[in-house]
Amino acid sequence: MLEFIIVLAVVAVLAAWAVGQYNALVRLRNLVQESWKQIDVELQRRHDLIPNLVETVKGYAKHEKGTFEAVTEARNMASAPGSTVAQQAAQENVLTQALGRLFAVAEAYPDLKANVGFQQLQQELTNTEDRIAAGRRFYNANVREFNTKIEMFPTNVIAGMFHFVKAEYFEIEDQAVRQTPEVKF
Amino acid sequence: MAGDFGASPGFFTAIPLVFGVFFVLVLAFMIGSVVYAIRASRRRRESIAAIVTTGGLSYVGEDRTLVDAFVGAPFGTGSHRRARDVVAGKHAGAPFQTFAYSYETETRDANGNTSTTTHRFQVTWIPAPAPFPHVRITPDSGWLRAFGSLAGHDLNTESAEFNARWRVRAQDERTAHAILTGPMIERLMRADVRDRAIIFQGARLMSFAPQATDLTELNAVVGMLQDVAALIPPFLISDLNPEP
């Protein structure tokens, strides 16, 4: 009888531990998904700013057709649905490089740089990229914690039983804050 | 006879002499310590008075309202909590305040004897650009490890060097990650921030260090806090500020 109670107690403790680990993994997985959704919102905001930005620059530098097409194509690739996290990161990096070339073109046009609409778009884009960078840090920290928990023993036993898979990191190039151009008279 | 015990009569007269010399030495040390402490305290007050006068700053001997103005260690622990030598003014056109904070703790040894320890800190704060949730960035050094505690776990950033040097705890981890940009991490890795805690708490950005100081480093500490405030991303300030 005593042996039975001891066995029952051990089973109960193990079951409680397993439930605790499972719930912790679920909580972390949900946190990873939620933090990814926040990044997704900001990426979408970035994509939405780009058509206006391209049109504003076009008004001053019509002949830079190649640059505009590169930005538009990169933007369309990045905003297409169905990408994995790693694919999204690669597409965003291509878009970032294309935007860098667009802003380099804009530097050659003082009238464009002085345009209030352009300055506002540039500032909004900077703020959005700062949000993306902050969201990325938060997301990657959650991924790190989730992946570590999945890999470490004995939690990896529960993770394997319930098919928890590692999440992908979101590795994009962090942009330096683009300063709003100073208008000098 | 003396030879039966293996000691000369001089040995027994030397014992009181040794104890007497020892007693005098201990007494001299105690008096010296007290005199040194009084002189150090006076030098500190003179230094503070000189800094207040030359800097056009304000000075209040003690302000009891500051004792409960902050949440989290070292505030809210111990007894006889005091905020003294309160100095306020402006640095580079922006306001700041600094004060010496102290509290006492009692410990009891195995024999039931109690001893009182006074803990002292120099606290400096500036107004934060927005009301922040509680974020504590404390050095991962012995004395400060105890003051890093806040509900939750230690945040890890992508910089292994930063993680080795600092512990970050936050009520809202998303905000903490938003604060810890690359330039912010670079700033916090500089030598002038070593052994200082940086706390975001509501409308205040605060730093504290062990021991009440003579304020000779005041400009450097306030400048450091202002650097930290300037490195907070604008979108975060905009998000945290209530809409007009």
Q: B177 by DSSP, 3-state: which?
A: helix
| Averaged pLDDT for residues B62-81 | 90
Q: What is the pLDDT of residues B90-115, one digit of tens each?
A: 999 999 999 999 999 998 888 888 88
- pLDDT above 90 covers a percentage of chain A that reads 71
Considering the domain A22-161, what is its CATH architecture?
A: Up-down Bundle (1.20)
How is chain B split into domains, by residue range?
1-56, 57-240
How far is CA A150 from each of CA A29, B226, B231, rounded to the nearest angstrom? Answer: 10, 41, 35
Least CB–CB distance from B235: residue in A127, A137, A144: A127
Find all residues with CB under 8 Å of B131, minimum gap 6, and list them.
B202, B203, B240, B241, B242
Contact A141 B174 (CB under 8 A): no
pLDDT at res. B211: 79
| Contact list, B173 vs chain A (CB under 8 Å) | 138, 141
- B80 touches B110 (CB < 8 A): no
Contact A138 B178 (CB under 8 A): yes
pLDDT at res. B73: 82
**Any chain A CB within 8 A of the CB of B241?**
no
Considering the entire predicted model, what is its pTM?
0.82
| Averaged pLDDT for residues A57-63 | 85
Measured in angstroms, the CA of B65 and the nearest CA of chain A are apart by: 36
d(CA A169, CA A141): 9
| Closest-CA residue of chain B to A145 | B156
Measured in angstroms, the CA of B158 and the nearest CA of chain A are apart by: 8
pLDDT band at A184 (very low <50, low <70, confident <90, very high): very low
